[in-house]
Structures are given as structure tokens and as C-alpha cells.
Amino acid sequence: MEAKFRINSFEEYEEQYKLSTERPEDFWGQIASNYQWQKPWDKTLEWEFDSPDVKWFLNAKLNITENCLDRHLEKRGNKLALIWEPNDPKERFVRMTYRELHEEVCRTANVLKKHGVGKGDRVAIYMPMIPELTIAVLACARIGAVHSVVFAGFSAHALADRINDSSCKMVITADGIYRGAKEIPCKGVVDEALKSCTSVETVLVTERTRWNVQMKEGRDYWMHQELLDVDRFCPAEPMDSEDMLFILYTSGSTGKPKGVVHTCGGYMVYAGYSFANVFQYDESDVYWCTADIGWITGHSYIVYGPLLNGATTLMFEGVPTYPDAGRFWQVCDKHGVNQFYTAPTAIRALMAKGEDHVLSYGLYSLKVLGTVGEPINEEAWEWYHIHVGKEKCPIVDTWWQTETGGIMISGLGGHSPMRPSHAGYPLPGIQPVLLDQEGKEIDGNDQEGYLAMRFPWPSMLRTTYGDHERCKNTYFSHYNGYYFTGDGARRDDKGMYRIIGRVDDVINVSGHRFGTAEIENAINSNDHIVSESAVVGYPHDIKGQGIYAYVITKEPPTNPDKLRAEIVETVVEEIGKIAKPDKIQFVSGLPKTRSGKIMRRILRKIAEGDTSNLGDTSTLLDPDVVDEIKAGAL
């Protein structure tokens, strides 16, 4: 049997899945041959999960942008590659063909080169959702520079940390950001961040809002001026399969976000393959993913996955509720969107605004709906299915992570059985297992355990930037011989996976990951008032999880509301608005074990409002503190 790039039925899925696990190297070798390589590989795979050391398509040479752009020029040169819908529906939208995008990427790549950026250099990208962001990402890849996109909602402090961690040589940004009714500074944040960064030599600024921004002589340049005198073609840098393509920072259970590293060959193969199959994209379709390119979903399923398939990908600058809660659906009708991919939190937020907004639009073009980022509750699933999909569009609930690079467990649009709140079956090549406490595989269906992977896949992370030990400790040491996801999952009686949620100290707020320690560090940096804090997640109707902070102050708070505002302000400064605590409770102590470990289980229960069964509290250093916390719960 042959590996097929595009699966067209559930029977075919079953056959392909079998092939992919029985002969993984043959399988991925055949899938990879659907791409354009400058030099083929000597060996498909070499791996061990102890170090870990994983290599795919060894010694092959390629450039992912030749696969995203050049390869399509002959057949699809005049096909739309990108549709850009602005924040304000009255502003003109932008359409770019493959030929135009190719030229823009080449020109921008030449600007980067002119400023001394080359293969292996790190470039931070801090931008609003405008076409120039996609172009900047691809321009880096064109010349082999490593992009590190930082979501433009992060604070100057968080941006500086990320720039410093990978010593970026350049920052690409814009003057300002339009987001809903808000006008948000962008270049100003970069200026602030760069006060504590020494590695950055050049800042390129794209014009978006035409605000008056400070330009530092010899460091800052306007992109539109730099683009005036560069060549329209830029040769694609030959990259080794295992050369770094990008770094993307994500939170874990420890304080500092880590730079997840993805490499060129494997990432390309899997991003393209998973896109084609999950969304069942057809040649004339318009595909829209509402994520921001600052997250992995935007990397793999706005930029790379769609372009690798010669698809038309829509990019949206705004928010779901501006100018009103019908905006998503208005955009779907306006551009004839066929595949629509969003987050459960957005669905819940729109559901809360009532059906009228969605019922005002026809939504006839929709064929496949997707969700990502967090578990989708049944109510939201049904609403999406009935009101958006008119009960005719399959929903793909796609489970994956920054670290996995691509979708791991999901239905294949229209071909797989669906069950609300269940991601379903693994994609070909993906071998999930459920582990028990001891790290033993739990066989059979109707079982629950820790979700892990027992075999490598092409787009898995290779390391965490500058700290391989951390990669090993975070993902490969909990259970010997497995990649550990940090999620708990259940396999139902038919073998479909349901993701339950994180089993580590990670909170998922509106599909964005934060480590509890990261937020605690931010709160504690207010060290003239705060002596200690503990953060947990609690169920939140719209966001999935909200952030609940227990804070011990140095002095008993005289004006708690003012103090709360100060603490929130610090978190906004240290991380960004997206990590604002929803609730702050002042306490005189925290439930700790005799060894000094905070019993988060107890704090979580109290935050959930479930104080009936707190378990055994007798081993606590100070059991009385629990009663106090219970009494003051918000």
C-alpha cells in the first residue's frame, strides 16, 4: 500500500493509519516526496527519547518558502494566496496573489539581508495582524533567519525577555495597532523593551496607523522606505532539514517561558499534510483561521499549512465582537469562507450575545468548522454545529500544542465520526498512549490517563532554545521513553480521545497558556506590598479558565480594591493584559505541607467554589489557614 497525501474517506484513514504505524519511515518518506527538496534525504528518521535526539529527513536540503510560494507560481501564480480583512469593515480589504506574495516576501527578505541578517540569526517579530506580518515571517524563512514571533498583546517586559533569551539581532514591528475599538501602541512597546536588550541592531517599522512614533537614528528604519531600492527576487537559502526554522515561546509549569524550537524539514512536511487532511481543503476554497500569528495556530494554520497547499488563506486584523458580535459571520459571507477555524472561547463569547447576530448571515459557503486551544463544552459545540454550521458542516475539534507543531488528534473534515467534546482519533503517524501514575501504558478503551506519545512525528519540537536539559526535563523525563503532553485524556468505548485538561501547573485562559509560577512571579514583583502568592485556574463561562490569585500582603490591606488594582497593573506590565487575574483574594497564609510545598489542590477546590471535600488537610503546616481562606473566598 502507498501513503496518500490526501485522505478521502474514513476507510482510507484507517488504512493509512495502519500503514503509518507499521512502516512509519516508508510512510513519511512517501508523504515527504510531495514537497520540493533541493536535495533528498539519506535517511528518513533517527531518534531516541532519552536525550532527546530526533532527526527527520537527514541531510536533505530545502527551503520552506519555495514550497509555500515558488512551487505554486506556474499553476497558481494568479490565485489568491492571502486575503486580509481589516479591523474596520469600512476600510479596504487586501488581496494578494501567489505571484504578489512571492515578490513581497523576496523584497522584504532583501531588506533583511541589507541590514546584515543572515542564516541562523534570530529576528523578533512584534506586529499586529497585517499582511506584512505574514510577509516578515516568510522573509525570515527565505534567508534562513530564525523567526521568533511575539504576540503583540505581550508587554514590553515580556517582549524583552523573549528577545534576550534568543539574542535577536533584529526586531520587525509596526507603528501602532487597531484592535476592536482600541488603538494600541506597538513601536512604543518595542522602544521600551529595547532599553534592556543589547543584541538588537536594527528595528524595521511597518506603517499601519501612521502615528507619530520615535525613530532612533541608526537603529530604526521605515520598512516602506527600505523596500524602495531592493531587488524583486531573493534566492531561497538552502536549509538543512534539521536547521532551525523558528522559535516560539510558550509557558510551562516553571516561571520562565521557554523557546520551543521547530526545524525546517519535518515541520514543513507535517504542517502541510495535517492542513490538507483535517480541513479537507479543495483548490478553489477560501480558508479562514481566526487565531493570531503570535501563537502556534497562526504559524501552522494561517501561514505555513495553507500556503504549502497553495490555499487561499484569510487573515483578520480585528476581534469577533467589533463592530458587533456578527463580525465573524459577516466576514464569512463577504469572502465566501469555506473552512472556518476558531477557539471555543470565541464561540462562547458570541453565544452569550445571542443567536440574532449569526442568523442575520447566510453562511452558505461554510463546509468545515474547526476548534482549537482548549476543550469545547457540549453546549458551545451544539451552538456552533446548529447556528453556524446549520447542522451540515462537520466540526473538527483539533488537539495539539506549540510543541507538537501540528494537529495531532482530530477528525478529518466530513470523514470521521464526531462526538461533542471529543477530539477523536489520532492523525496518521501519531501514536498517542494513556499512561498511569507509574508510566505504564493503559490498554483498551473506556480508560483515562496521562496523554503521551510513544513515537516521534515530523513536526515535534527538537529542543527548547539554549537549554536542552529543560526540554528533556519538561517533556521526556516524567515517563521514560515517551513525550509527555501535560494533558490528561480519556479514551471512550470507541477509542475516541477526549482531552480533559492540563495536569500540570498550567492555566488555559481563552486558549492561551500561562504557568501559575509565571503569574505568581509577576504578582510578587510588587515586593513592597506582596510577600507571597499562589495562583490557580477556576472554571470560567467564557474564558474556559479564569485566574484566581491568593495573595499574602506585608501589611493587612486597608484599601483592598486599590491594592487589587495595583497588583493587576503589575501583571499587565510584566506579562500583558491577557494574563490579568480575574479574582484576587487577600489571605494571611497559604496551605502548605511541612516541606513547604503549596497544596494547590486545596486552593483549586476553593476557587471552584467546591469546599465540601477538601481531602486530608491534617498534614498541613497550619490547617487553620484553610478555614480562613474558605471564609474569604470570592
Interface with ligand 6R9 by CB under 6 A: which residues? 250, 295-297, 372-375, 397-402, 423, 485-487, 499, 501-502, 508, 511, 513
Q: Which is nearer to ligand 6R9, 312 or 401 (CB)?
A: 401
Q: Which is nearer to ligand 6R9, 399 or 482 (CB)?
A: 399
CB of residue 343 vs ligand 6R9: minimum separation in angstroms? 8
Q: Do 286 and 85 meet the contact criterion of CB atoms below 8 Å apart?
A: no
Q: Which run of H or E residues covers position 368?
A: strand 368-372
User: What is the spatial distance between Cα 451 and Cα 557, in angstroms, rounded to a whole number?
Assistant: 43
Q: Which three cell numbers stand for residue 55?
A: 532527526
Buried b (16+ CB within 10 A) or exposed e, 224-259: eebeeebeeebebbebbbbbbbbbbbbbbebebbbb
CB of residue 376 vs ligand 6R9: minimum separation in angstroms? 7
CB of residue 496 vs ligand 6R9: minimum separation in angstroms? 12
Q: Which is nearer to ligand 6R9, 327 or 513 (CB)?
A: 513
On the CB side of 86, how many CA atoms lie within 13 Å of its CA?
12
Q: Which of 108, 403, 110, 412 is nearest to 247 (CA)?
A: 403
Q: Which is nearer to ligand 6R9, 285 or 374 (CB)?
A: 374
User: What is the spatial distance between Cα 166 and Cα 370, in angstroms, rounded to a whole number?
Assistant: 33
Neighbours of 498 (CB within 10 A): 20
Q: Which is nearer to ligand 6R9, 60 or 453 (CB)?
A: 453
Crossing angle, helix 264-279 and helix 24-32, to 10 degrees? 90
CB of residue 70 vs ligand 6R9: minimum separation in angstroms? 28
Q: Which run of H or E residues covers position 499?
A: strand 497-502
DSSP conformational letter for 236: P
Q: Which is nearer to ligand 6R9, 467 or 566 (CB)?
A: 467
CB of residue 389 vs ligand 6R9: minimum separation in angstroms? 17
User: What is the spatial distance between Cα 242 and Cα 255, in angstroms, rounded to a whole number?
Assistant: 29
CB of residue 401 vs ligand 6R9: minimum separation in angstroms? 4
Q: Do 626 and 617 meet the contact criterion of CB atoms below 8 Å apart?
A: yes
CB of residue 537 vs ligand 6R9: minimum separation in angstroms? 11
Bridge-based pairing state of the strands 176-179 and 122-126: unpaired
Buried b (16+ CB within 10 A) or exposed e, 531-540: ebbbbbbbeb
CB of residue 296 vs ligand 6R9: minimum separation in angstroms? 5
CB of residue 498 vs ligand 6R9: minimum separation in angstroms? 8
Q: Which is nearer to ligand 6R9, 213 or 347 (CB)?
A: 347
Q: Where are the beta strands (DSSP E) in 26-74?
A: 43-48, 53-58, 61-62
Q: Which is nearer to ligand 6R9, 144 or 305 (CB)?
A: 305
Q: Which is nearer to ligand 6R9, 272 or 310 (CB)?
A: 272
Bridge-based pairing state of the strands 258-263 and 53-58: unpaired
Q: Which is nearer to ligand 6R9, 260 or 314 (CB)?
A: 260
Helices (H), 287-384: 296-298, 305-308, 327-335, 344-351, 356-359, 378-383
CB of residue 513 vs ligand 6R9: minimum separation in angstroms? 5
DSSP conformational letter for 578: G
